[in-house]
Structure 1
Amino acid sequence: MSLSIASLRRGLVLSAAMVGALGANHAQAGTENYLLALSWQPEFCETKPTKLECQTATSTRFDASHFTLHGLWPQSGSYCGVSKTNKSYDTSNRWNQLPAVSLSSSTWTDLKQKMPGTQSYLERHEWTKHGTCSGLSQQTYFSNALSLLAGVNAGNLRWLVASNVGGTVMLDDLYAAVEQDLGSGAGDAVEFICDSRNGQQLLAEVRIHLNLPSPMPSRIGAQHLAEPINPASATQLCDWGSVAIDAAGASR
């Protein structure tokens, strides 16, 4: 594992050389920095058990063995063109009062499976806070995010995590899987977010920092990786050693 990965995980500044390599795409015209946030839903439900999507969770549902979509966040801003009323609804977690998103029936069906938080109107929050700054239609924004999620779920990282449900995996191995999927050095664009409980660190989220062209690609390639503009704090990042992978309905 490279020193720059270690520096990133400790909340330090990336080396100048790696910043230059990852940041090269940012200078290209027509690209936008995004953060793709993917949840490990069983751990989310350990922290938010009253959420409807958690009360309905099963060991065979998609989110028990795959990453789910938290959001695709433009790093240039939030709440773009959003009324004060809708921003108030959003920031006070009254997401059910936000306007419904307009999607094709097939995209909505796909989103309900791969963003189980739709049961709590997460898609309305994500569009209001983040999607409005993408410059995309609701249909394009969510279908693009689902395509990027599908690519990650088809790779070694998802297989490694799903193969260790109920157990642990070494953080080094998570980074190795990312580099197998996206190429050498890809770990510098990825953050593993952990919760701490009962002396363990538990995988909660994977964040992938990207420079994406317009139109967006259907899969992430090495050329799309970027240094974090808004990195997670050191207290959010998984620490060295073993990382526990929660199973649906399991308490630790």
Structure 2
Amino acid sequence: MRAFVIAGTIAAAVWQAGPAAAGSNEYVFSLSWQPAFCETRPQKTECKSMTPDRYDAANVVLHGLWPQGAQFCGVPAYIVALDNDPGRWLDMPEVAMKPETRQELATYMPGVASGLHLHEWYKHGTCSGLSPDGYFGLSVTLAKSAATASFGKLLHGSVGATITGQQLCEALARDYGDKASQLVKLIVKNGTFSEIRFTLQADADKTTALNATHMLPMGGARCSTTPIRIDAAGN
């Protein structure tokens, strides 16, 4: 069971992780392109504060790491109800984690400003078999790996310009082998790059890595010559 402590109001509550859930053998790892996200949600706190020189303006950032097969493990009904309303994510109890974990998370998951980390923990992290520090630490490690991979560098170097699916597939192949285009799901909305997802196979100790030996087939990327815009901040 998970335990939680209520201190004054819901907003002041702190979630303490109890015994871990069993965890999952498969995770979907999702990375977003924040300028494209902010085009559709400019009212978000993290979008109002975005500047062209901020990390998330020019690098893929963490959307989530989602254990497959379960959600909201041991989470009380009132928290699930709050989670169902994105406007109330910050009303959910804060998750206890080390200050350094939270500081890194705020960089690699800018949605922390709007409570995205709380949504991700309660809906997905509680089913990971990991502590909050373990779950978010692993998520950040994967996000860092992606940003420094060939495909992450391609996106970083193409801010405000266009690339093709073929270019992206070639970069993925350099990172993860010739079949890499089959191992991702590429989300492009109205010609603009929005998100990329991987399905990762966990090791026996429930950790994952962003490499070909851990990846399972997904929807695949279209390796075509169709232009894909890489939005810049404020576009």
Q: TM-score, with normalisation over the residues of structure 1?
A: 0.79
SS in 2 for 1:66: coil
Q: 1:195-220 CA distances to partner (integer Å, 9 max, x unpaired)? A: 11xxxx10011111111212414x41
Please say if residues 189 and 210 of structure 1, whose CA atoms lie closer than 8 Å, have aligned partners that are also in contact: no
Q: State the distance in 1 between where 2:138 and 2:157 align.
A: 27
1:222 aligns with 2:209: no
**Whole-angstrom CA distance in 1 between matches of 2:210 and 2:44:** 31
Distance 2:116 2:65 in 1: 12
The 5 A counterparts of 1:102-251 are: 102-196=96-190, 201-213=191-203, 214-217=205-208, 219-228=209-218, 240=224, 241-250=226-235
CA distance in 2 between counterparts of 1:183 and 1:216 reads 21
- Aligned residue in 2 for 1:8: none
Give the whole-Å Cα distance in 1 for the aligned partners of 2:215 and 2:41.
31
Structure 1, residues 151-198: CA drift from partner, whole Å, max 9, x if none? 1111110111111111110011111111111112122111111111xx
Contact kept in structure 2, 1:211 and 1:226, CA below 8 Å: yes
C-alpha distance in structure 2 between counterparts of 1:238 and 1:86, whole Å: 39
Amino acid at match of 2:150: N
1:51 positional shift: 0.1
Contact 1:194-1:238 within 8 A present in 2 as well: no
Compute the RMSD of aligned alpha carbons.
Answer: 1.8
Distance 1:76 1:179 in 2: 29
Which structure's residues are more often helix, by fraction?
1
Given candidates 62, 70, 73, the residue that maps to 2:63 is 70
* One-letter amino acid of the structure 2 residue matched with residue 166 of structure 1: G
Report sequence identity in percent: 37
Partner-residue secondary structure (3-state), 2:216? coil
Q: Which has the higher relative contact order, 1 or 2, with Cα contacts under 8 A spaced 6 or more apart? A: 1
The answer to whether the 8 A contact 2:166-2:222 is kept is no
Question: Which structure 2 segments of 5+ residues have no match?
Answer: 1-22
**May I ask how many residue pairs the two structures share in their alignment?**
210
Conserved 8 A contact 1:193-1:238: no
1:91-110 superposed matches below 5 A: 91-93=84-86, 94-110=88-104
> Could you tell which deviates more after superposition, 38-47 or 78-87?
78-87
Structure in which a larger fraction of residues adopt strand: 2
Question: Structure 1: how far apart are the matches of 2:165 and 2:71?
Answer: 31
Per the normalisation by structure 2, the TM-score is 0.85
Q: Secondary structure at the match of 2:81?
A: helix
Distance 1:105 1:73 in 2: 23
1:216 maps to amino acid: T
Pairing 1:13-92 to 2, within 5 Å after superposition:
32-92=25-85
Query: What displacement does 1:34 show?
Result: 0.5
Read off the aligned partner of 1:65 and give its amino acid letter: A
